Structure formats: structure tokens, C-alpha cells
Amino acid sequence: MPRVIRTDEIAIDTDRGDSRMLTATPARPKAAVLLGHGAGGGLDSFDLTALATELPPRGVAVARYEQPWRTAGKKIAGPPASLDAAWAFALEEVHHRWPRIPVYVGGHSAGARVACRCFARPAVGVIALSFPLHPPGKPEKSRLDELTAVDSPVLVVQGERDPFGTASDVRSALPRRGRRRQVIEVPSAGHSLQPGKRSDPDGAAQLIVDSVATFILNEVR
């Protein structure tokens, strides 16, 4: 018998404006993950949609958080401080909904940066999807410090051809010793993590889901 997945859309009032959250919850979740979107995409991005669809049947509740600027219909993201402030309300909501299970945080691109900058309990780990290591063509402007500041396990899922930093770039930049860091490469993918139709997008989605599920479930066992 298939697992029953409950889906909800939740309105969240923040001091930066109204926002919303889409949740997908299995009957008995083992863990939960809060995911933020990028500056150029929304909750229906390739990777966030795959995770919201495929993780709940494996026992992981998924909350996709839409920042106030996007809920308001604006085309340009607010400054980092405003994103971070709104994220705190999302994390509080997730902890309120699932107070007795481990909570992971993460997101796509700018969403991953927010999750890293704001990493705090009850979160126990970070899932960074397409972490923008540097602006395209400007490797000297590294954002590595945001990634390395997280004092818990981190999973980075990066495209092979990402102009903001490839999987190889991230591996090379990360310290080789110390905290637990995993880097997964999505073949033929750019910053969206979605490769072209000739490069097996279904396989890429499966790789993303399997990597994130393994990362979370191995930690909670």
C-alpha cells in the first residue's frame, strides 16, 4: 500500500512581508528538510520539485520556502540581510511543525547561501544545491567562507558545468581535513542542475534525490 503524503500551503508572516511554504509530509517522517529557492527561480525549480516529490515517500518531510520578495511578485531578490531575516521565520515554522525529528536546511543557489549563513539549531546539517562559489568569471570573489562556517555535516550537489563553480572547483576549494563535507557532481549540468534532454535529466533528478536521501537517512540512523 503506498504511503500517504499530506501536502499543505502555509502562509507565514515575517517582518519583511508575507511569505509562504509548501510542505509534503509522510505519515511518520524520520527527518525534515527546509529548502529555499534561488534568486532567479522559485519553488518549482528542477531540483526542489524532484526533492519535494521523491523524498516524502522515503520518510523525509519537505518544506519549500518562498521568500517574501517572490511572494509579493517582485523580480529582484532583496539584500542578504532581508533574506536571512525572513528565513528565521521559516525555520521556526518547520521546528514547530516537526519538533521531534532532525531538521536539515538548504536550498538552491542563493537559498543555499542563506541556509549556510543562518545555520543554527534545531538544524543539524546543510544541503547546498548549486552553491554559488563565486560570480561567473570572478573566482577571486569567493563565497567559500559561508560554506565552511557551517559546523555540521554539509552535502553540496553541484553541476559539472556550473559557471558559478563546478563540483571540481568546490572540492578543490574545501579544506581536506576537519568537518564532514560531501560533494556530488551532476554530469552535464549547469547552475540549474537540469541537464539537456540529450543528457538524461531523469537520471540527474534521481542522482540528486538519492544523494540527498542517503545523506539525511544515514545521519539519522
Q: How confident is the model at residue 39 (pLDDT cuts 50, 70, 90)?
A: very high
Alpha-carbon distance values, 56 to 28, 89, 181, 210 (Å): 10, 23, 24, 12
- CA angle at 47 for the pair 42 and 48, rounded to the nearest 5°: 50
Q: Which residues pair with 138 in a beta bridge?
A: none
Question: Looking at residue 92, what is its pLDDT?
Answer: 96
> Residue 1: what pLDDT?
37
Question: Pick from 187, 183, 139, 20: which is nearest to 90 by CA?
Answer: 20
**DSSP string computed for 117-149:** HT--TTEEEEEEES---S-TT-TTS--HHHHHT
pLDDT tens-place string over residues 49-99: 999 999 999 999 999 999 999 999 999 998 999 999 999 999 999 999 999
Given a cut of 50, whether residue 116 has pLDDT beyond it is yes
Does residue 179 register a pLDDT over 70?
Answer: no
Q: What is the mean pLDDT of the chain?
A: 94
